[in-house]
Amino acid sequence: MSQTNPNGLRKRYVHAFAFALIASAGLGFTGCGGGQAPRGSEMRADGMVAQSAPDSFNKQNAESYSAIVENEYRSPLVEPRSTFSADVNTASYSNVRRFINEGKLPPKDAVLLAEFVNYFPYQYPAPVGNDPVSLTLDIAPCPWNTEHKLARIGVHAKDLSLEDIPARNLVFLIDTSGSMADSNRLPLVKESLTLLVNRLTDKDRVTIVTYAGEAGLRLPPTPGSRKQAIRDVVSGLNAGGGTYGEGGIKLAYEMARRGFVEGGANRVILCTDGDFNVGVSNQSDLRQLIERERASGVFLSVLGFGMGNYKDDRLKELANYGNGQHAYIDTIAEGRKVFVEQGGGLVCVAKDVKFQVDFNPAKVNAYRLIGYENRILKQEDFKNDAKDAGDIGSGHTVTALYEIVPVGVKIDLPEVEPLKYQKPAQTKGNASEWLTVKMRYKHPDNEQSKELAAVLKGAGATSGSEDFRFASAVIEFGLILRDSKFKGDSNFDRVLERARGAANFDPNGHRKEFIELVQKARDLSSHAVRE
């Protein structure tokens, strides 16, 4: 569903130019899916659909989202393994929250289930020993299809205290063009950065580079202890004009290299409403620049602000290329979540995190990975240390769920000829195992990966832990908003009932807010039906 916002038209020429650049470069994630692209769209080589917005949408709203082809059920006799990359992005949830709080149901392709479930922290066991991450598995009945099971993979990254966080070399690249003037754009950037400034220490360094209306270096590398000097520069930022910021991103990376901290967190943080007038006119060159700097140890995180011309799909791609997080900040409360609650998330503790899941055909008739469509990897990518994957910051949790059809439960799958030369793996002695998960990761300063593994057993007869029930409620909510063909018996009332009974662990009020959001969405949906 689109919305009318004249601010989204202020830079229509810039948007069209940026759209053409990205479309011509063919940027995308490794994804799954198949079939033909919808009319007015283009099927990309990676299986994702790059869809052109209709003229009526362009006239009202310059936002853009990649069309997602949901993962299908797979037979373990045909595809015994599932491989994917970690994802700590949270932008989809806060962006959808913005739509609902404005009294609108979101476009279905704005709903990414992995980003929904990973918005919330969970109480997974902390890592032990030298491992910076832990791996936890559990299983319970699937609430929207009780004949099925839900298998959950949970990861908890080491939570560094403020004293243990290494020195941070943070370079903020801030869009100060005219479209950033609205209160939910540059003013919100400034408020959010002030929250972070309050938590900086003398060992940290902050640099501010602006582009567009005010291009250039606004704050040279400055110790975090000089808080007032940093605040003065932040408060003095103003939005205006639409001139391309020549070399803005190049300058940001140059400053990051100049202040590079060995063993520390070196990161460029792009704050924008989605325009790409950052001084690199060729999108392929921009991607190569980001990947080259990533290899040198300077990562890129992307924070989206504003509405009407928000470019979710492109911002997400840039963050993924840069080994960083993509978050959408719609309120100062979300700014607090990103910079205060998850401030340690700016410090990577495990990079190139990948999962490979082996399913036992003696227990599993079919399986489906829920979400992560833009994070699917080839089987051979798992042990390939040259293959980039997701990164996990201090204190982050990562959650992934599979919907499993147990043996004995019927499901319609495409007919496939039995394998002639290969037989399914023997399951003798492993009859109680549903699946085995292997996770590979690298320490931030190492290019050789390490592997953890865990086996999932058990009947999965109970409803699961409080965390499990809440995670399943979040997924079910997303299935409803997406109007997914896999939503089964999903409904708002059951989501609310389960979430209310699983909200005891809520240190920052996010679960309570989720319940309120579901109530609003239910009311909006009922009103839409009545109309």
* Beta-carbon contacts of residue 386 (< 8 Å; ≥ 6 apart): none
User: Which tens digits make up the pLDDT trace of 61-102?
Assistant: 578 788 999 999 999 999 999 999 999 999 999 999 999 999
- Residue 339's φ and ψ, nearest 5 degrees, are -95, -20
Q: Structural domain of residue 122, as residue ranges?
A: 81-160+349-410+430-530
Distance of CA 455 to the CA centre of its chain: 26
> Residue 424 domain-assigned?
no
- Which segments within 342-389 are labelled E, that is strand? 348-359, 364-369
Work out the burial of residue 39: count CB atoms within 10 Å of its CB; fewer than 13 is exposed, 13-18 middle, 19 or more buried.
exposed
Alpha helices (H) along 432-491: 466-482
- What span, in angstroms and rounded, lies between the C-alpha atoms of 201 and 104? 42
Q: Please check whether residue 32 lies inside any domain of the structure.
A: no
Strand order in the sheet with 133-142: 133-142, 145-157, 397-406, 364-369
Place of tokens 């924008």: 272
Q: Identify which of 155, 199, 221 has the alpha carbon closest to the alpha carbon of residue 346.
A: 199
> Which of 154-168, 321-335, 411-425, 482-496 has the lowest average pLDDT?
411-425
**Neighbour tally for 335: CB within 10 Å:** 23
Residue type, 11: K
Looking at the structure of the chain, the number of domains it has is 2
pLDDT of 360 strictly over 60:
yes
| Nearest alpha-carbon partner for 388 in 336, 321, 329 | 321
Whole-number Å distance between alpha carbons of 349 and 147: 39
Residue 166 clears pLDDT 70, i.e. is over it: yes
For residue 367, is pLDDT > 90? yes
- Give the distance, in angstroms, between the CA of residue 124 and the centroid of all CA atoms in the same chain: 19
Q: Is the pLDDT of residue 256 over 90?
A: yes
Q: Which pLDDT value is given to residue 34?
A: 32
In DSSP notation, 237-294 reads ---------TTHHHHHHHHHHHT--TTSEEEEEEEESS---SS---HHHHHHHHHHHH
Within-domain flag for 96: yes
**CATH code of residue 109:** 2.60.40.1230
Pairing of the two strands 168-175 and 205-211: parallel
Per-residue pLDDT tens digits for 384-397: 999 999 999 999 99
Q: Which of 32-46, 49-63, 332-346, 370-384 has the lowest mean pLDDT?
A: 32-46
Q: Which residue has the higher pLDDT, 15 or 358?
A: 358
Asked if 435 and 489 sit in the same domain, the reply is yes
Q: Is the confidence at residue 38, as pLDDT, over 70?
A: no
Longest Cα–Cα distance of the chain, Å, equals 72
Report the CATH number at residue 312.
3.40.50.410
Same domain, 196 and 332: yes
Residue 420 has a pLDDT of: 77
Question: pLDDT tens digits, residue range 2-14?
Answer: 343 434 333 333 3
**Do 207 and 262 fall within a single domain?**
yes
Last residue within a domain, chosen from 286, 309, 343: 343
Q: Of 302, 326, 343, which residue is a domain's last? A: 343
232 and 103, same domain (yes or no): no
Q: What is the pLDDT of residues 116-160, one digit of tens each?
A: 999 999 999 999 999 999 999 999 999 999 999 999 999 999 999
Place of tokens 């599993």: 364
Residue 233 vs residues 175, 241, 268: alpha-carbon distances, Å: 14, 19, 17
For residue 59, pLDDT over 60 is answered with no
Which of 343, 361, 394 is the last residue in one of the domains?
343
Q: Are residues 475 and 498 in the same domain?
A: yes
**Band of pLDDT at residue 489, cut at 50, 70 and 90:** very high
Which pLDDT score is estimated for 281? 58
The alpha carbon dihedral of 151, 500, 520, 8 has a sign of negative
What is the average per-residue pLDDT within 337-344? 88
**Per residue in 263-296, pLDDT tens?**
899 999 999 887 666 666 567 788 888 999 998 9
Mean pLDDT within 346-355 = 94
